[in-house]
Amino acid sequence: MSASDHSPAAVLNGSEAFPHRHLTGIAGLQPHEITFLLDEAEKWAESNRARRPSDHRLDGITQINAFFENSTRTLLSFEIAGKRLGADVVNMAVAQSSVKKGETLIDTAVTLNAMRADVIVIRHSSSGAVQLIASKVDCPVLNAGDGWHEHPTQALLDALTIRRRRGTVHGQRVVICGDLMHSRVARSNILALTALSAEVRVVAPSTLMPGAIEAMGVTAFHNFDEALEGADVVMMLRLQNERMSGAFIPSTREYHLRYGLTHERLERAKPDALVMHPGPMNRGVEIASGVADDPERSAINEQVEMGVAVRMACLDVLTRKSRGVEGWA
Amino acid sequence: MTVTFTNARLVCPSGGMREGDLHVAGDRIADSGGGDTIDLGGKLLAPAIVDLGVFAIDEAACARGGIARVGLMPDQSPVLDDPGIVQRAAAMGKPELWVHPIAAATKGLAGIDLAEMAIAAEAGARAVATGRRWIADSGVMRRVLGYARDCGLTVIVHAEDDGLAGGAVATEGETATRLGLAAAPAIAESLAVARDIALAEESGAAIHFRQLTTAKSFDLVRAAKARGIAVTCGITPAHLYLSDIDISDFRTFARLSPPLRSETDRQAARAALADGTIDILCSGHDPRGPEAKRLPFADAAPGSAGAETLLALGLGLVRDELVTLDRLFALLSANPGRILGLDTGTLSPGSPADLIVVDADAPWRIDADRMAASAGNTPFDGLPVQGKVVQLWKGGARIR
């Protein structure tokens, strides 16, 4: 690995390598701290593949997954990650309607705190909600997605996937295409990938492109074909159902015409370019089935696999202080 | 009661600055007098503040802020669109605070049917307003302006195009993009201003934009004034001191309506204040408790408690040399008084003795936890400022 991959672990000891109490976002993380989490996750990826028996380092730790917004995949991934490390995992699925009122959100945070959770994983539909909860509890908080703001573990698992498949993130031309405006996955990925010195291009119709996005260090395109030229990685975003008909795009078939990833379109990218998608996919809308299922190109299943490894790493690192791990307590 | 203030630095928006004495006889400023003498030791003596467009009657905050009269927005519960409700609102703060109700321009502020403006005016309303929102239907707005002109009432407008601003909680730009907040472009304001100026010009109605915050809006108002249209506009200190970067970290106390703008627009607002385009500096006082503010940013209510920080922040603009002291009191007292049809805001003999004595240099720190207001939601928490109200007189009687 080259020096430009921001590898820190050799010089920083213990909590110096990751001095943060919570993981509320990629914003605020130094490049070497991101790399540290990726290195930690890499180890878990290997041990998961080797089907080693469960680790027990989180024995006696209570992990609460408080999901204020529906999720299947991310919730399952966090649950498996916690259980593989021996944590007692409790899932709290809260119907969105009952927590729409804010005092309830703070009250919920205070309640979780009173139950002496050791780590809380939160997903919420409002940007900034996870930070708000983190400010009210004594234990580490892990953001599993807040509104359109951030989804840091998704960005970490994407960076890890790119690093494993392409050897490095540095200098990779990554094209992120889709509904940038409403996407926390895009925001966290832009932050992580630019921090790791990738060249990031974003593509969306102007109706789904957030203002001043270039200030985040990316190049904005409205034409997918132009953006794809010479790409190393093509990351497709999910188009939410409620935005498919009329208000933001005329129709799904028109969207597919301009922004759907097909084999033909992919030819503009590098011959060995990697295709990624955070899932769940709308086949035939943002991505053609043939591309999604192409074992040569698609890293979509590996992303899911890396998700568990990254979440194991985050749960381990964030609880080191309370577990009294040497150098972290 | 007869009082003579001596050794005062008198600040009069119409008469300028002078040092000397001021006489009060009964509830009015007088040519001469005697009675008790109050030596002000060189402190400022100025017309008390008339705060145009507050959302709550908050006597304690107003007393501390040197505010003797407020123009109360119609966005109350119930809405100020009925003579009984208007009358009751007008009586609510007396004697220490005089409330001048601003009636709803449309029934229930719904933006559809004309409200009973003349009846509301008889009940004590001093102007009409569109409330917290813009009137989206241009046909309705045209009728509102024409009818208000017939009644001799100024229409106070909130200018944000709903089609662009609907659902947005921030101004489009880097900060909103990084935070993942629903954002509207700044032209949501100037688009609304352009339409309303066109309609006001056609009808000849007097229109006041309660808060303008973008460069393009100021350009439009500047040009309209040059054409002789009866247009005025106001601003709160927030948009002169803060920009959208202040909502970073999801600070809900900085969630305002209209939202904080770009730094470029903030600079344009300061220029518009300096060149006379802006007529009024108001607090937009809107105290909100934790149930409305201790929420994720987008779920929190907009607005800030501003009554007791208005003067100190205004004096900061004098120190920044954007405005002179007498011009500051034109912005704070004389101009808002004129829109409400009051004879206040001046130290000329015969005017109401609504006065404040100000120690302009007294330092203090704005502290959200120690505000007199019914809630401490200030975006200026922790800011060191200068200028304290040491006396407040309303109609010749000392309130503070």
A212–B contact, CB cutoff 8 A: yes
Tell me the C-alpha distance between A136 and A140, whole Å. 11
Task: Using CB atoms, pick whichever of B177, B291, B300 lies closest to residue A210.
Answer: B177
Strands B384-394, B355-365: parallel, antiparallel or unpaired by DSSP? antiparallel
Quick one: average pLDDT of A231-254?
89
pLDDT tens, residue by residue, A175-192: 999 999 999 999 999 999
Q: A-chain residues within 8 Å CB-CB of B291?
A: 102-103
| CB distance A265 to A206 below 8 Å | no
Q: How far is B314 from chain A (nearest CA, A)?
A: 32
pLDDT given for residue A98 in this prediction: 56
Q: Range with the lowest mean pLDDT among A104-113, A161-170, B151-160, B364-373? A: A104-113
| CB distance A160 to A310 below 8 Å | yes
Whether the per-residue pLDDT at B248 is higher than 50: the answer is yes
pLDDT given for residue A2 in this prediction: 47
Share of chain A above pLDDT 90, in %: 84
What are the structure tokens assigned to A58, written together? 């989180």
The fourth-level CATH superfamily of domain B48-344+373-383 is Metal-dependent hydrolases (3.20.20.140)
pLDDT tens, residue by residue, B63-90: 999 999 999 999 999 999 999 999 999 9
What are the structure tokens assigned to B103, written together? 């009636």
Q: A-chain residues within 8 Å CB-CB of B166?
A: none
Domain spans of chain B?
48-344+373-383
Q: A-chain residues within 8 Å CB-CB of B264?
A: none
pLDDT tens, residue by residue, A272-313: 999 999 999 999 999 999 999 999 999 999 999 999 999 999
pLDDT given for residue A97 in this prediction: 47
A48–B contact, CB cutoff 8 A: no
For the purposes of burial, counting CB atoms within 10 Å of the CB of B151, is it exposed (0-12), middle (13-18) or buried (19 or more)? middle
- Give the H or E element holding residue B59: helix B59-65
pLDDT given for residue A94 in this prediction: 74
Task: Using CB atoms, pick whichever of A127, A150, A210 lies closest to residue B296.
Answer: A127
Q: Which residues contact A254 (CB under 8 A, 6 or more apart)?
A: none
Mean pLDDT, rounded, of chain A: 93
Helix, strand, coil % over all residues of chain A, rounded to 5 = 45, 15, 40
Q: Which residues contact B13 (CB under 8 A, 6 or more apart)?
A: B47, B326, B327, B329, B330, B333, B334, B335, B345, B346
B55: pLDDT confidence band, cut at 50, 70 and 90? very high
pLDDT given for residue A8 in this prediction: 58
- Give the H or E element holding residue B188: helix B187-203
Whether the per-residue pLDDT at A96 is higher than 60: the answer is no
Mean pLDDT, rounded, of chain B: 97
Quick one: average pLDDT of B329-351?
97
B111–A contact, CB cutoff 8 A: no
pLDDT given for residue A109 in this prediction: 87
Interface contact B180-A146, CB threshold 8 A: yes
Interface contact A147-B250, CB threshold 8 A: no
pLDDT given for residue A89 in this prediction: 97
pLDDT tens, residue by residue, B196-222: 999 999 999 999 999 999 999 999 999
Determine phi and psi for B391, rounding to 5 degrees.
-145, 145
- H-assigned helices in chain A: 31-49, 73-84, 102-114, 129-134, 152-166, 184-195, 224-228, 252-259, 263-266, 289-292, 300-318, 320-323
- Give the H or E element holding residue B336: helix B335-339
Strands A173-177, A141-146: parallel, antiparallel or unpaired by DSSP? unpaired
Tell me the C-alpha distance between A188 and A25, whole Å. 7
